[in-house]
Amino acid sequence: MKGEFIWHTHEDTDELFLVISGRLTIQLRDGDVVVEPGELFVVPRGVEHCPLAEEETAILSFEPAGTINTGDAGGPMTKAAELLG
């Protein structure tokens, strides 16, 4: 990813971000968390957040199947889940 996503919340699920390369900033209303390669961060359910990558950043995001990537915000950045298998 590169750039800023959107502010959103997942009311019913946590969301885990694992950074493979680059640097990811998870913007939270009470302060930012910077996640470096090999590190992960879990956004607890119900916490509003906005991922931001100032440089091209490879991430894995883990959340239950069927979770909408834009949470409660919706909009043009909403993508259908892709199942691996």
d(CA 45, CA 11): 5
14-33 pLDDT, tens per residue? 999 999 999 999 999 999 99
- Give how far Cα 25 sits from Cα of 19, 21, 80, Å: 10, 13, 23
23-65 pLDDT, tens per residue? 999 999 999 999 999 999 999 999 999 999 999 999 998 877 7
- Give how far Cα 3 sits from Cα of 27, 55, 66, Å: 12, 7, 24
d(CA 21, CA 6): 21
Of 24 and 75, more confident: 24
Q: Which helix (H) or strand (E) holds 18?
A: strand 15-21
